[in-house]
Structure 1
Amino acid sequence: MSCAAVWSRISSDYADAAKPQIDWDDAAPREALVDSRSRGAMGMLALLEDRSRRAPSEPGTE
């Protein structure tokens, strides 16, 4: 699976490396950001786990 394919399946937008522009004193946007980042991380772990279970000879495991 290519890097582009992996990134396309993650829920969060990581295109900007800057600190997210949210009101850090407001709990709702802060929790939404943490939730989106954790969902992205869990998605990445699921993809990597799936990839590690495949045999090298299976299609899609470059």
Structure 2
Amino acid sequence: MTTYGRTKFRQYIPGKPGKYGIKTFPCCDAETSHQLSGELIPQQTTWSNGTFIIHRKVVDM
């Protein structure tokens, strides 16, 4: 999600047209495409041991 405001959890995303944004992770229904739940990712995407936070969020959902 592109943002131009100043927030502490804004991240640099080099592959996107809007280079700065807030990373979100929605959980959607496969048949209706409705969003069931979602998470904001306000920190770096990997932990020090190399585990991706996104993987941990999927396991938690």
What's the TM-score bracket when you normalise by the shorter of the two chains? under 0.3
TM-score, reference length from structure 2: 0.23
Kindly name which structure, 1 or 2, has the bigger radius of gyration based on alpha carbons: 1
Greater relative contact order, per chain length (Cα 8 Å cut-off, separation 6+): 1
Instruction: Output the TM-score relative to the length of structure 1.
Output: 0.22
Higher helix share: 1
